[in-house]
Amino acid sequence: MKVLDALRHGVAELHRELTRYELVIWTAGNVSARVPGEDLMVIKPSGVSYDELSPENMVVTDLHGNLVHGELAPSSDTAAHAYVYRHMPEVGGVVHTHSTYATAWAARGEPIPCVLTMIADEFGGDIPVGPFALIGDDSIGRGIVETLRGSRSPAVLMRNHGPFTVGKDARAAVKAAVMLEDVARTVHIAQQLGKPDPIDPEHVDRLYARYQNVYGQ
Ligand SMILES: [Zn+2]
């Protein structure tokens, strides 16, 4: 199946961006992609180091996290990714990291305020905080979906845990994770120096509309 092979390749490759931008340590971060038209997803295997990831060892599960293809167990975050795909049909990619600055905001349970044009462009407003949730059932997935439904943001800071990002495909979700860490860092630094200025909501709307519809090739 050509589409599945391409996705295995793409998802394995996108994990390199997590290390390139220093969003992850050890094996604590993962990318997944929905298999278009199937109730399947491709995700990182559990506990395998980023240097050892390859298209061949990517895992395919159904959208309840049950193993369909692959030798290895899927990521321990599979249930959360699967829940998002089941409840947000527009989402084609999900990323989870514990990137330092974004996770520091999650530790304080504080949304990242929309004080930069880059935040308005990519996130469409404040970057929201999701509930505290324990791993093991659907709590994390439910928290992600409930929070993202009330927001234009493709990123949610799960309280005391870290960020999850979504996108139309895995690449878009990785981009959101990279941008999130960058703005989390910048706004953190700005706050050390005083109170950052919020952007007028009307301007946020205009920036978001332009970036989402006009910007790029
Ligand atoms: Zn985590």
Could you tell me whether strands 129-130 and 155-158 are parallel, antiparallel, or unpaired per DSSP bridges? parallel
Going from the Cα of 24 to the center of ligand 1, the distance in angstroms, rounded, reads 10
Going from the Cα of 119 to the center of ligand 1, the distance in angstroms, rounded, reads 23
What residue spans define the domains of the chain? Answer: 2-110+126-182
pTM for the full predicted model: 0.96
pLDDT at 216: 67
**Annotated active-site positions, please?**
121, 215
Q: What count of Cα atoms within 13 Å lies in the side-chain half-sphere of residue 199?
A: 22
* Residue 32 to residue 7: CA distance in whole angstroms: 9
For 124-152, how does the pLDDT look when each residue is reduced to its tens digit (9 = 90+)?
Answer: 999 999 999 998 889 999 999 999 998 99
Going from the Cα of 97 to the center of ligand 1, the distance in angstroms, rounded, reads 6
Question: Which residues lie closer than 8 Å to 61 by C-beta, 6 or more apart?
Answer: 40, 41, 43, 67, 68, 74, 78, 82
2-110+126-182 maps to CATH 3.90.260.10: no
For 11-66, how does the pLDDT look when each residue is reduced to its tens digit (9 = 90+)?
Answer: 999 999 999 999 999 888 999 999 999 999 999 999 999 999 999 999 999 999 99
For 63-87, how does the pLDDT look when each residue is reduced to its tens digit (9 = 90+)?
Answer: 999 999 999 999 999 999 999 999 9
* Residue 137 to residue 177: CA distance in whole angstroms: 24
Mean pLDDT of 105-118: 98
Going from the Cα of 163 to the center of ligand 1, the distance in angstroms, rounded, reads 8
Going from the Cα of 132 to the center of ligand 1, the distance in angstroms, rounded, reads 12
